[in-house]
Amino acid sequence: MSALDQTPPPFFRRGPAPLAILIFYSALSVALFVLDMRFHALDLLRQGVSIVTDPLQRLAQLPLRLASEGTDYFRAINALREDNRAHQAARLRAAPDLARLAQLEAENAHLRRLLALRERDQVNGQAASILYAARDPFSRRVYLDKGMQHGLRQGQPVIDDAGIVGQVTQVFPFSAEVTLLTDKDQAVPVQILRTGQRSVTFGLGNGQMELRHMPVNADVAVGDELVTSGLDGIYPSGFPVAKVTQVERDSAYAFARIIVVPSAAVESHGMVMALDYRPETQPRPPETKEAAGQDAPPVRQRSRVRRAAAP
């Protein structure tokens, strides 16, 4: 018995068995996966790892950027001259309108005050350029070249010159992740410009969006424009979101199937602007007398607009 008690000499030390290591790391991966997908509890870890990956990403983008900037340089002078001429012409054309703008604004403010409407919030923004699109085939996300250091924060709406592009869903120290409108189940509360009817669009994950929960006989036509309704307190109201391209009415279903496509160049690269829009949200009115004391402000979930479900 005593011979078996001895440990073997340390000639062939091999560490734990590979299967044990495999099980350990697999369990760790699955735990991370669950924590991340279900509880969104690992933002700090993501930010930590992104400090390593950020420089690498910029390095990988470098050759492409150099090439495009090099060709730009040689084309620039002619293009600038053309631009200059075009801008001057445009300015001349816009001059009369501009002169009237101040007067129109004053008049508008006056009318709004008459209507006892609150003045629309002035929205500031920060321009950023899209670094690259995520390789993940399951989601529609892009990364911006601005981050925490530039004052971006989670939940900011992102627009381009034609409308809403998406929403900032993760902020890293030097970059930020934007979930596009077309990401699966990304919701935006909208209003049909023609009829004023409110609804919510949901991304389909294939570059299109869907207007859900509209009755079969709803007044929606192909070509209708949708703008943000501003009811969620995340997107400021009045920004173009999408255009209706297809309406299927089947009386077998309670709802019409309405496909819309985003107005903004959501799936292409370019410059975007993250809006700094912080409306003063009113506290929710208490539903019952008893619950009045415990009513906490609504928690904003990552990448979801929760309160937008009811049109």
Contacts with other proteins, residue ranges (CB under 8 A): 18-19, 21-22, 25-26, 28-33, 35-37, 42, 45-46, 49-50, 52-53, 56-57, 59-61, 64, 132-139, 141, 143, 177, 184, 205
Rounded CA-CA distance 206/269 in Å is 17
The Cβ of residue 107 has, within 10 Å, a number of other Cβ atoms equal to: 11
Judged by beta carbon, residue 78 or residue 206, the one nearer other proteins is: 206
CB of 265 to other proteins, least distance (A): 15
Rounded CA-CA distance 132/141 in Å is 9
CB of 76 to other proteins, least distance (A): 23
Q: 242 and 262 in contact (C-beta within 8 Å)?
A: yes
CB of 306 to other proteins, least distance (A): 17
Q: Residue 200: is it exposed, middle or buried by C-beta count within 10 angstroms (0-12/13-18/19+)?
A: buried
Judged by beta carbon, residue 147 or residue 240, the one nearer other proteins is: 147
CB of 73 to other proteins, least distance (A): 21
Both structure tokens of 227: 């703008």
Judged by beta carbon, residue 64 or residue 109, the one nearer other proteins is: 64
HSE, side-chain direction, 13 A CA sphere, residue 140: 22
What are 164's strand-pairing partners?
159
Judged by beta carbon, residue 172 or residue 239, the one nearer other proteins is: 172
Judged by beta carbon, residue 76 or residue 309, the one nearer other proteins is: 309
Q: Residue 308: is it exposed, middle or buried by C-beta count within 10 angstroms (0-12/13-18/19+)?
A: buried
CB of 165 to other proteins, least distance (A): 16
Judged by beta carbon, residue 210 or residue 224, the one nearer other proteins is: 210
CB of 139 to other proteins, least distance (A): 6
Rounded CA-CA distance 56/156 in Å is 26
DSSP string, 181-223: TTSTT-EEEEEETTT--EEEEEE-SSS-EEEES-BTT----TT
Question: Tokens 């109201």, residue?
Answer: 237
Q: 174 and 54 in contact (C-beta within 8 Å)?
A: yes
CB of 293 to other proteins, least distance (A): 36
Rounded CA-CA distance 263/223 in Å is 11
CB of 189 to other proteins, least distance (A): 22
Judged by beta carbon, residue 32 or residue 109, the one nearer other proteins is: 32
At 38, which helix (H) or strand (E)? none
Judged by beta carbon, residue 166 or residue 240, the one nearer other proteins is: 166
Instruction: Count the helices and strands in the chain (H runs, E runs).
Output: 3, 12
